[in-house]
Each structure stands twice: as structure tokens, then as C-alpha cells.
A and B are shown apart, each in its own frame.
Chain A
Amino acid sequence: MSALDPVEIFRVEAAELLEQIEQGLLDLDQRLDDREQIDSVFRGLHTLKGSGAMFGFDALAAFTHHCETAFDQVRKGHAPATRELVAAVLAARDHMRALVEDPSGDYAGQETALLSQLHAAIQVGAIQVGATQAGATRVDAPQAGAKPQATPEPPPATADTAARQWRIRFALPPNAMVNGVNPLAYLDELRELGACEVSIDDSAVPPLDQLDPTALHLQWTVRLETEHGRSEIEDVFLFVVDDMVLEIDEMGAWPLEALSPAPAPVESKAEAPATPQQAAAQPTSPKTAAPQAAATPPKTARRSVESVRVPADRLDELMDRVGELVIAQSRLSQIAAAGLNEELRAVSEEIENLSNELRGTMMVLRMVPVGTLFERFRRLAHDLQRETGKQIELVTEGESTEMDKTVIERLADPLVHIIRNSADHGLETPEERQAAGKPPAGRITLAARQSGGEVIISVSDDGRGIDCARVRAKAEANGLVAPGQVLSEKEALHMIFQPGFSTAAKVTNLSGRGVGMDVVKKTIESLRGAIDVESWPGEGSEIGLRIPLTLAIIDGLLVRVGGARYVIPLAAVEECLELSLEDDAKSRGRSLLSLRGSLVPFLRLREIFQTGSPPDPHQKVVVVATGAERVGLVVDQIIGDHQTVIKSMSKLHEDVETFSGATILGDGSVALILDIVNLVAVRQDQEAQMRAIA
């Protein structure tokens, strides 16, 4: 376990970096002048290159180097961030991922294309900067004697940017050298900026017998004379700034005596006299300004919330153990309840509470905010926009809603498909939209919210809606519906999830990927979820996925039918009541129950399951909700609620649709868990067949 493959570790790290780069790029795409995102992307690229080289991913390092260089230009203000650049680096990022996954592949052709795209993007930008720079200097600073220039040079030394004196005090964390940081390199870099006078503070060095030779005890104070601005100095420490103590004071503006506890100078004072291009190219972002403002109290407080990375299968293992514990515990409470031993009962109750809490904690461990899933779709929306030529605005809501990690993973594909569908079929072209009086950009809203034991994830668009008549026509053409068959609107809308509905006639890059909406339905059903479709012609449509919070343990209602016990998911149960003799007697021709004024159909589980034994005298009804409908299930006895650890059924029982799984009861016997939706569907088919025979 401890011998983790370093290459695997790098892959995990690289995946995160690539994610960070992608998110940064997408943010940048919306706010091209966001200095913070530029830095973040640059840092991501730099780290990726560095660790790539370290772990032998040389092709990756070499390729990433180009992107890093490009972003370095942007960062230094030599080239602007443009949409083209973002697109080029996004494409390059995908290639980097390929290089991470399969470094041995031959990508020469691809790389050349990507790099030329990248260079084109950066050069166009650089020329623009050169031009504006030239124009700007001519107007504002004619004394600088500016020449139009394509390749930017260091800012010309005008009177305003004359050499200034800075006092830089820095201390690195004690473990810096262990981590491969070389303080001399920073000093060398500072020397490159201008004349330096370095003094060392060795007051923290311990006596020889306590000296740890690998730890760093020294601090430096550098008096630097340079024409560069504060941000250049800060850039020297770009990659360590989060962990170190760094004070940069401008001495020109302060009398020399005030050297020691110099308060942080006001930012604008230092920057105001900069040349126009400097001001434009290096607006100090709030992020870089903040550490320096707070520099006097050393930045020792590390993030207080720490996280531990644990392989998912260990969590699964733990989950299994908790599941078994819950089973053993319910057995214990049965024994305790049957006996007369008060002490045993007390202990059993305590254990019950503890195991419930443990279960709760365990659940939370596996929960991740859906935001992690939603982030992936920003890229999708970006790509879809290019592919369809439609303007798409992706709005996400409820990112903090949490769900079981495995569930989230499995939702990714269905959501991709639904979003693609919305973009392809739902949204109109900008012209059509304007003709219909809508804003040109189509909006796709991805929202998540929790409701009871379920999380509802909905994808809605403000497009043209789903055309019921067309869906119907298509379903008829594909033989999914008989020509004369009466379909409710809801049934018609659900036809889009039928296998064989998505037609090959409409293969576009988006919808022709070989996966139909039926896959969405299958995945959601395998998660014990359900799909709702709504459509408002001309105004849009909404597909809602209702997913149970977790897969492993559910609250269930234990019932008895004949001699066997079954579990009904408690989330679906609305109420329980006794079947009146009157309703019971009438139910020969119709099985309907009058429930507070509305009629609820009911099914006798003993008939469906063919128990063959005589029914109990007082039958009970469990009213369950399946989507918008309510159905009563008639059982012999309601035993009570039961913490149900779900075990999947064997593959040999895959064809049995009425059960979603099985669980082990306190006495060691097995109870089946009802799949309400399928149960009702199967019964519907049966009744239809029986009517057809009669």
C-alpha cells in the first residue's frame, strides 16, 4: 500500500493541474484582463512542466514549455490575452492530457499544428500590443522617443521610472531547501534586476549541536537599485510567495531612518509614476497586493482546514464494514428487544445511536459538491458554442449540493448528453432567437438541489422546447408507437428516452456520437433515479434527474407479503393505512382507493408475487409516489423502518426488474428491495396483456 507508484502520483497531480489550467482559461475567456487567472494558468503550466520533467514525461515538459512561454509573455504584458490564445491553449491542454496518459504515442503532426496555432495567437497579440504601446507612448510620453516596435523591450527609462531603491527582506520556510528551493537563485534573479547589496540575518541559526544542516535558518535583506517596479520584484518569488515572508519597501519614498519597521507603502504611490504601458501591463492584482500589505505579521498561519487524499476503494471498504456493522447492530437490537435484560437493551440502544452516527459520518465522507461535476461542463459549453455556431451561456446553480462521489461520477456522461441535446436541438440560432424576441445568447441552466432523500439535477434551456408532435411522428416512424395509440403529453416526451429513438438520419457532430438518450435513462435507472421532462413550446424545456442521495444504505420500510419480507424505499413512501373491507371487497373489478378525495390505484403485492397463501385478515396499504403518480401497495403486514444496506443482486437475476437489490435482515435472512417504478411498469404491461386477452 505504501509503495505508491510515483508515476501514478504524478498522473493524479497532473490531472489536477490540467483541471486548474482549464478552469483558469475558461475564466480568462470571460474576463480577458483578469491578472489573477493569467498568473494561475501560468503557475499551473510551470508546475506541470517541472514535475513532468521530474517524472520522465519529457515530451509533456517540452510541449508545455511552449505554452508556458506564451503565457509568460502575457503575464509580462508583452502580449495580451486573447480569445484565440485561450482557445489555442485549451486545445494544447487537451494534448497535454494525452501526453500524460500515453507519453509514448507519436503526436508530432498534432503538436506542430497546435504550436503554430499558439504562435499565431501570441504573435497577433504581440503586434497589437506593440502598436498600442507605440501610440500610447507617443501621446503621453513623447520625451521617451518611442519607436513603433513589434517585439517589446523592457520599458524605456523615462524620468518617472528612474532607478529607485528598494529594500527587500525575505525569509523562506525552514524546509525550503528540502523541497528543492535554492535561495541563491532568488538572489541571482534580484541581481539581474539591478545593483544589489545583500546582507544576511543569521540570528536564527541555532548552536552547532542543534543545527539541522538541511533546514534553512537564514534571512536576507537586499537593498536593490532598479528601474523595475514592485511587481517585477514580486515575480522573482512567484512560486514560493505563498509560503514565505516577503517585505518589499520602496526606500526612495521614505527617509532612510525609517528602514526598520517600515509600514507597507501605499500601492498607488509606488505605481502612479509608472509609464503608461507599465501601468497597463502590470495592474497589480489584489492578490499580489494583499500579502505585501499584510507582510508585517509573518504569514505563518497555514490553511487551517487540512485534507487527506484517500483512494476511493478504501472508502468503499470502510463503507462495507459500516454496512456490516449496521446489520449486526440491528440483529443485536432484535435480540435485546426480545429479551428482558434492561442493561443489554441500554447498551444495544447506545450501539444503535453510535452506528447511526457512524453511518452518517461515513456518508458525509463520500459526499462531494456537485460543483466539481458542473465545472466540467463549462468546457463543454465552450466547445459546443464553437461547434454549433450558437451562442450559449451556461449558468450553474446549487453547486454546493453534495452527492455521493460514485453517483457524481456516473452522472457525468448522461449530463453531457443532455446538455449536448439541449444545445443541438433545444437552442435556436441567434437569428431565430432574435426573431422570436429572445436575447441572442441561449441559456442552459444546470441546477442542483436537494429535496428529501433525493438530489434533483435539472438541465433547462430557453430554446424552442420539445415538439411533441414531432417526437410522436418520429416514434411512429421508428415503430415505437402504434399509429393510433393515445399518448399523454408526458408519455410522448418520455419517448425521447426510448432506445432506438435517436435516429441516425440526424448525425451531427453533437448528436451522432453513438449514444442515445436511452443511455441516459439506463444510467439514471441504475442509480435508482428517475427522469422528468417538461417542455414549454417556444420557451424552453427542462430535464430533471432525480437521484437518491446515496447508493449504499437507504432507509426502508420493511413489510411482509405472505411469508416473505420486502423493503420499500422510505423516500418513496407517502403514507400507510389499512385497506378498508369495503375497498377490499369492491376491488374485484377496479382496484381504487379513495384517499382524501382523490382516487389512488392499488396493487396487491401478494398477487404480483404469487405467494399462494391466504391473505391476512386486515390488509395494509403503503401509498408510494412514483414520479407524479401515487400507487397503493397492499401488503399483509407493515413491520417498521429498517436501515437497509443495499447489496446488488447477482448478474443471474438481472432480468428481474421488480427488485433493485437485496438486503440482509437482522436474523440473517435476505429481503428484496422493491423497485417501485419498475414494479408499476411491469404491472401495467401485465394488465395490458390481460385486457388484450379478454
Chain B
Amino acid sequence: MTTALRTSTAWAQADQMEALTFDVSGETFALEASIVREILDLLPETNVPGARPFVGALVNFRGRIIPLADIRFAFGMARAEPTIDSRIIVVEIEFEGAPCLVGLRADKVNEVRTLARENAEPPPRVGMKWRPELVECLIKQDGAVIIFPDLQALFDAGRSKPDGEIIRYPKP
């Protein structure tokens, strides 16, 4: 929720927002530029057996071990082979009250650009194959659509609830 609130306040303070745009499986996404810590080339990954696929791996970010998230799993997109343009975007999000560094896989990082609020629209109820709660808003820019995901909802999705059943491995 915090991220959602934060973005809303970012919008509320000004009609414009600095955002980093990147491509994943042919779609363009945007993140608030202020939460981006670093953009890295691909690193050796370590799979975490038993973790949900969305955060299924770890990378060594200069001595810190951070989870690597793949937005494709949340949006049900096809997995693509890494290319020369593939990058990891390290962002700092707030998770359960504590700041937390996470890497996001991107096929290509485009640029930091200014997005205007007047171009933003809430996600439509139909016509979108992604779960609407994961999308904060859609932004029309230069004839293309940029997806602005709700990071908090993304990272919360699929987690076991504290009092609920713990996710076990899928049955072999």
C-alpha cells in the first residue's frame, strides 16, 4: 500500500512525475524514478527452491543478497531468453514496514522521462488480461501505453498470510 500511496502523493504534489521506463516481454512499464537505486547488468542467479516464482531467485548485489523479481510471472507473460539489453533494476520498496532492496528483471531499460498526470488512466475493468489490482494506472504517451504497476500489490500477491497455510512445494 505504501508504494501506492507514495505514487499517489507523487502525483498529488505535481502533475508530473519522473519515471524510469523499461520493457518486459514487449510491454513498457514505468517506475517512479526516485525508488530506483541502480541498474545492473545481469548477475549470476541462484534459484530458491520452494519460493514463489515471482521472486524465485537471489543475486549478490555487491555483498548484499537481494531477491530478484520477475514481473513476467505476475503478469502471466512468456518467459524470454536474456539478451544483450537485459538488465536488473534495483529498487527500494517498503515491505512490512522495513525498507527492502529488490532486483527487477527487465529486457531493456529505456530512459527516465517525465510522465504527465493528465495522460494517466485507471486500469479498465475489461480488456486487460492482467489482474487489475496489480496495475496502478495506464499512461498514454506518444501513442504507446505504459503500464505503471502497483509494486506493493505485486510483492504482496501470492504470499502466505501470517495466520494462513504456509506455501509448500508444489506436489512432485
Contacts and interface: CB of A to CB of B under 8 A. Distances in A.
Contacts of B102: 650, 652
Which residue among B52, B60, B155, B171 has the maximum number of chain A CB atoms within 10 Å of its CB? B60
B59 interface: yes
Contact of A651 (B52, B95, B160, B166): B95
B100 A662 contact: no
Main secondary structure of the interface of A (DSSP, over half): mixed
A34 interface: no
Given A610-B169, A656-B51, A668-B60, A649 B46 contact: no
Interface in A647-690: 647, 649-653, 655-659, 662, 664, 667-672, 682, 685-686, 689-690
Interface string A577-602: 00000000000000000000000000
A669 B60 contact: yes
Contact of B169 (A564, A608, A647): A608
Interface string B87-110: 000000001101011100000000
A254 interface: no
Contacts of B63: 324, 327, 664
Nearest to A663: B65
Contact of A656 (B50, B59, B155): B50
A489 interface: no
Nearest to A693: B171
B167 interface: yes
A655 B49 contact: no
A650 B46 contact: no
B168 interface: yes
Contacts of A651: 95-96, 98, 100
Contacts of A55: none
Contacts of B59: 670
A609 B48 CA distance: 8
Contacts of A607: 172
Contacts of B64: 647
Contact of B49 (A610, A647, A690, A693): A610
A659 B168 contact: no
B47 interface: yes
Interface size classification for chain A: 20 to 34
A501 to B, nearest CB: 16
A689 B170 CA distance: 11
Contact of A652 (B44, B49, B55, B60): B55
B137 to A, nearest CB: 24
A585 B167 CA distance: 31
Contacts of B47: 564
Contacts of B168: 682, 685-686, 689
Nearest to B101: A650
A533 to B, nearest CB: 23
Contacts of B155: 652
A608 B50 CA distance: 9
A653 B55 contact: yes
B66 interface: yes
A324 to B, nearest CB: 6
A669 B44 contact: yes
A652 B169 contact: no
Given A653-B55, A658-B49, A659-B48, A610 B172 contact: yes
B120 to A, nearest CB: 28
A657 B169 CA distance: 10
B134 interface: no
B159 interface: yes
B67 interface: yes
Contact of A658 (B50, B52, B55, B66): B50
B171 A650 contact: no
Contacts of A662: 46, 58, 65
B166 A655 contact: yes
Contacts of B95: 651-652
A610 B169 CA distance: 9
Contacts of A658: 49-50
A649 B49 CA distance: 13
Contact of A664 (B65, B69, B100): B65
B67 A682 contact: no
A686 B55 CA distance: 22
B52 to A, nearest CB: 8
A655 B167 contact: yes
Which residue among B51, B69, B171 has the maximum number of chain A CB atoms within 10 Å of its CB? B51
Contact of B65 (A324, A610, A667, A670): A670
B46 A671 contact: yes
A626 B24 CA distance: 44
Which residue among B49, B66, B167 has the maximum number of chain A CB atoms within 10 Å of its CB? B49
25 contacts: A608-B169, A609-B50, A610-B169, A649-B48, A650-B67, A651-B95, A651-B96, A651-B100, A653-B51, A653-B58, A655-B159, A655-B160, A656-B51, A658-B50, A664-B60, A664-B65, A669-B44, A669-B46, A670-B46, A670-B59, A672-B58, A682-B169, A686-B172, A689-B171, A693-B171
Given A564-B46, A650-B102, A682-B168, 12 more contacts: A607-B172, A608-B169, A610-B172, A651-B100, A655-B52, A655-B167, A656-B51, A664-B60, A669-B44, A672-B46, A686-B168, A690-B171
Interface of B: 44, 46-52, 55, 58-60, 63-67, 69, 95-96, 98, 100-102, 155, 159-160, 166-172
Q: Which 7 A-B pairs have the closest CB atoms?
A: A609-B49, A670-B46, A669-B44, A650-B67, A655-B160, A652-B67, A647-B65
